[in-house]
Amino acid sequence: MNYQQPQLRRMLAAEYVLGTLQGRARSRFRRLQARDPALRAEVRYWEQRLAGLNGGFKPVPPRPVVWAALDQRINANTVVPLHRAPRGTLWRNWAAVSTAAALLLALGLWQQMHQPPQIVTRTETVRVEVPVPAPMPYVAVLQPAKSEAHWKVSIYPDKGLIKVATTGRYAIDEQAKSLELWVVAADGPHSLGLLPASGDGEMPMPPGLKMDGDATLAVSLEPHGGSPTGKPTGPVLLAAPAVRPA
Amino acid sequence: MADVADLSHLLAATAAGNQRAFRELYDATASHLFGLLLRMLKRRDWAEEALQDCFLKVWQKAETYAPDKGAPMTWLMTVARYRALDLLRVKRPEVEMPEEGEEQPLTFADETQSPEDRAVEGEGIGRLENCMEGLQQEQRQSVLLAYYEGYTHQELAERLQAPLGTVKSWVRRGLARLRECLEQ
């Protein structure tokens, strides 16, 4: 086939992406596009256009064993360079032993994976080592309009703690007014406490307050000592999302 | 689902060898890829094998991802689809296809532009649905079955109970018309 003919190239690229270009023709096309940028661009064109159909695939969570096996394969691979670097036999042996161990483990997981679907009790034989990091805090940077000052607020629901670090000074009459921090939930705002106009500090989270999922924080200007009603009474200076890294 | 910026960031960190970022990338995208693989491969064990292969490739080749390959999710889905197609050809053996040989394939009508001349990524995707609607029913069905089920020409011919040559021309005319429509 004449791979230089433009119309033909375009159709081959389209059928390659669709998948109907098969067998030897497919392998040949793959080799060809590796050294032909124009052909690759043609392939990208179709990849990106047909990706519009990807919404038709319904997400399905894979079993944890897939990650476990993958994790093994990755870590088995990272052992390999140890063979080559040091010359000492001790190192070589260690590398060989650890590679063998990793491969054995990978093989075990592999076999596990290829067994038919199991009832729950059976899956206990796989050790899925997922590191459990300490829960991440919610973090928000609160910057009122028309002010250089801002607050970094970190909320640790697991510790029941709120940390505040102020940059600059927010200009209010602290004898007459207070800044109150709120978390805005589906059922309305809940007070988290008073924000300092300057400086850093910590305060406990109000008892009984739960935070889950995404959160929005807000700051309102209240009479000295905070809102008398438990809900914001003064102007809201800002609202910002609090992000919790996964 | 994580947005484009998050996924790009995770891909970049994965390319740098950050296993934690790789894990996050997996958590954010594996179910989408697995859904695609299950749909195409039909068997869970094959889909799990393909998912592993896919992410192993992502781990090893994350640095080859470039934004011109589309949004990160598009790229990942593309990697998964190609893997599924390869597996299907190995695992779902069929009557050996006659080589295309020197048969004159149907081609696109007018092509003066190169893809680089065209709009940046994103444009056109919204039009895809409309353009699919514009295809003749057999053309649309052939393209969709090939895309979603990974059917070969031969399998399409069996499924649609039509001669091989007819099915091929449905696929090719469908693709050609799709492109004309997307370019408008």
Contacts of B121 in chain A (CB under 8 A): 48
- Summarize pLDDT for B47-100 with one digit per residue, the tens: 999 999 999 999 998 888 887 777 899 999 999 999 999 999 887 765 444 444
Amino acid B134 reads: G
Judged against a pLDDT cut of 70, whether residue A128 lies above it is answered with no
- Mean pLDDT score, B14-34: 94
A49 in reach of chain B (CB within 8 A): yes
Q: What are phi and psi of A154, to 5 degrees?
A: -120, 125
Q: Please tell us whether the domain made up of A138-242 is placed in CATH 3.30.499.
A: no
The structure's pTM equals 0.56
- Mean pLDDT score, A123-129: 48
- With CB atoms and an 8 Å threshold, state whether B107 touches A11: yes
Length of chain A: 246
A41 in reach of chain B (CB within 8 A): yes
Structure tokens at B33: 């890829």
Q: In this structure, what DSSP letter does residue B8 have?
A: H
C-alpha distances in Å from residue B113, one per residue of A2, A7, A42, B173, B176:
20, 11, 11, 19, 15
Q: What is the pLDDT of residue B118?
A: 37
- Mean pLDDT score, A137-147: 80
Percent of chain A at pLDDT above 70? Answer: 74
Q: What is the pLDDT of residue B89?
A: 86
Q: What are phi and psi of A190, to 5 degrees?
A: -125, 135
Q: Report the top-level CATH class of B119-183.
A: mainly alpha
Q: Report the top-level CATH class of B4-91.
A: mainly alpha
C-alpha distances in Å from residue A124, one per residue of A60, A104, B49, B51:
22, 18, 20, 22
Which one is predicted more confidently, B123 or B25? Answer: B25
Q: Residue B126: pLDDT band by 50, 70, 90 thresholds?
A: low
Q: Which of A10-24, A27-41, A159-173, B97-111 has the least mean pLDDT?
A: B97-111
| CA atoms of A71 and B19, how far apart (whole Å) | 9
The ipTM assigned to this model is 0.82
Cα-based torsion angle of the residue sequence A51, A54, A60, A65 in order, rounded to the nearest 10 degrees: -20
Nearest CB partner across the interface for B56, out of A12, A19, A73: A73
**Cα angle A37, A21, A24; round to 5:** 90
- Summarize pLDDT for A15-55 with one digit per residue, the tens: 999 999 998 999 999 999 989 999 999 999 999 999 989 98
**Residue A39 and residue A33 in contact, taking contact as beta carbons nearer than 8 Å:** yes
Chain-centroid distance of CA B162 in Å reads 24
Which one is predicted more confidently, A6 or B152? Answer: B152
| Residue B112: Cβ-neighbour burial (10 angstroms; 0-12, 13-18, 19+) | exposed
Residue of A24, A47, A54 for testing the chain B interface, max B β-carbons within 10 Å: A54
Which one is predicted more confidently, A4 or A219? Answer: A219
B44 in reach of chain A (CB within 8 A): yes
* b/e per residue B126-138 (b: at least 16 CB within 10 A): ebbeebbeebeeb
Domain ranges of chain A: 6-56, 64-125, 138-242
Contacts of A52 in chain B (CB under 8 A): 125-126, 128-129
- Summarize pLDDT for A83-120 with one digit per residue, the tens: 333 333 444 444 555 666 666 666 666 665 665 544 44
Taking the CA of residue B61 and the nearest CA in chain A, the distance in Å comes to: 13
Percent of chain A at pLDDT above 90? Answer: 20
- Mean pLDDT score, B42-51: 93
Which residues between 132 and 161 in chain B have a beta carbon less than 8 angstroms from any beta carbon of chain A?
143-144, 146-148, 150-153, 156
Mean pLDDT for chain A overall? 77
Closest chain A residue by Cα to residue B43: A116
- Mean pLDDT score, B124-147: 88
User: Other C-beta atoms within 10 Å of B23: how many?
Assistant: 18
| CA atoms of B67 and A173, how far apart (whole Å) | 51
Is the torsion defined by CA of A7, A10, A14, A20 positive or negative? positive
